Structure 1
Amino acid sequence: MGLSIVQGFTKSLAMTVLSEIGDKTFFAAAILAMRHPRRLVLSGCLGALIIMTILSALVGWAAPNLISRKWTHHVTTVLFLGFGFWSLWDAFNEGEAEELAEVEAKLGGDIKINGGSSKENNKDDDNLKKQNRPVLAQFFSPILLKAFSITFFGEWGDKSQLATIGLAADENPLGVVLGGIM
């Protein structure tokens, strides 16, 4: 194979950091963390991102078996250029404020569904529920599952997922996974 794990790691880490800052899932995680226990939101989001990174790297690893390594290198180069220009276009035209407003609108529907009850009542209800639940059941709480599903499906088909597939096709998939998870 001969591909460097360190090279795949550094490229994946840089790509992930640059593409995820200001992303819709970034805002969704931040808003969820403001409303719910941060450890549950972090666990759900990290779990989803780890699984998505591994799946993307597996697809990227399999791609050179379907297409020659020379062509996958050219395709990934074009994809990276395209995603770079796409990100710049989004930054100049839309900005992060619109993405934040869109995520808040989606998550704001939860408050309407819950009847708009106050935070104090919700905290009292949450504390009562926590006392009645076993420790293992707290780990798989609805909040964790909500954070997991929002992040997982938000990343599905996202620029960073497609870039991870392309990077894993061109670099060492283990390095790409480790860099993406870091």
Structure 2
Amino acid sequence: MGSSVLEGFTKSLAMTVLSEIGDKTFFAAAILAMRHPRRLVLAGCLSSLIVMTILSVLFGWAAPNLISHKWTHQITTLLFFGFGLWSFWEVFTDDKESEELAEVEAKLDADWKAGNSVSKGNFKDDNDLKKQQKPFLAQFFSPIFLKAFSITFFGEWGDKSQIATIGLASDINPFGVVLGGIIGQVLCTTAAVLGGKSLATQISEKMVSLSSGMLFLVFAVQSLLTSVREL
């Protein structure tokens, strides 16, 4: 944990940007921003990603207290190698560039149609009855905010960027990791919301996977060499 805040910041920022661009949550934010007010979509997506980043860093920070630092370092190194090879595998096996975008768009389209049919069926209901039927949180937050938050949170849960953030925080300065992760999420989500589907369709998923694979392998080699020097 003797690493600098700057190292944690730069590694987390680079990893977050390359992992999130072209990710399902990136596409979801872009599509949602086309159908709903951008400020609500941005607020919902960003709030979710910031919460996820903080939780991941806290978990990574606590890991060395549960497992020896030597083991967490070795696990992190293996994770970086694994994610790097996984990214390269995606480059050479995925034939369709926009498959993930189409998948996210189809799911949101289904939700959109279902929501419209429900709203039409309840149009003639009494206003007081509507308020009683609304979820508790919806009385304090916009339903659009909650939708963007939940889609992003559950879409990001268990993603390789979340696991990589846990690994980074367990091995290097957690404050730098959380700062770099949050700034990276702000940059990517803002670009998705402002750029919309037009930006999402111009992104080369293979180039993003190739770049992130190279970055993960660089982190893995650096971590491996650090382990050798410490031994």
TM-score relative to the length of structure 1: 0.84
Contact 1:22/1:96, CA 8 A, preserved across alignment: no
| Structure 1 counterpart SS, 2:98 | helix
TM-superposed CA distance for 1:92, in Å, is 3.1
TM-superposed CA distance for 1:111, in Å, is 2.8
CA distance in 2 between counterparts of 1:43 and 1:91 reads 32
| Structure 2 counterpart SS, 1:115 | helix
- Over residues 92-148 of structure 1, what are the superposed CA-to-partner deviations in whole Å (9 max), with x where a residue is unaligned? 32354111111011101123211399xxxxxxxxxxxxxxxxxxx898211111000
User: In the alignment, what sits opposite 2:190?
Assistant: none
Task: Spell out the pairing of 1:26-105 with structure 2 (5 A cutoff).
Answer: 26-94=26-94, 95-105=96-106
| Structure 1 counterpart SS, 2:53 | helix
Structure 1 residues 76 and 56: alpha-carbon distance in aligned structure 2, compared to 1, 3 A threshold: same
User: In the alignment, what sits opposite 2:17?
Assistant: 17
User: In the alignment, what sits opposite 2:157?
Assistant: 156
| Structure 1 counterpart SS, 2:117 | coil
- Over residues 7-45 of structure 1, what are the superposed CA-to-partner deviations in whole Å (9 max), with x where a residue is unaligned? 101100010011111111110011001111111111001
Contact 2:2/2:172, CA 8 A, preserved across alignment: no
CA distance in 2 between counterparts of 1:24 and 1:161 reads 13
User: In the alignment, what sits opposite 1:109?
Assistant: 110
CA RMSD of superposed structures (Å): 2.0
Structure 1 residues 24 and 96: alpha-carbon distance in aligned structure 2, compared to 1, 3 A threshold: farther
User: In the alignment, what sits opposite 1:146?
Assistant: 147
Aligned residues: 163
Task: Give the unaligned 5+ runs of structure 1.
Answer: 118-136
Task: Give the unaligned 5+ runs of structure 2.
Answer: 120-137, 184-231
Relative to structure 2, which stretch is displaced further, 108-117 or 157-166? Answer: 108-117
CA distance in 2 between counterparts of 1:142 and 1:87 reads 35
**Which of structure 1's runs of 4+ aligned residues deviate more than 6 A?**
none
Relative to structure 2, which stretch is displaced further, 76-85 or 159-168? Answer: 76-85
CA distance in 2 between counterparts of 1:116 and 1:138 reads 18
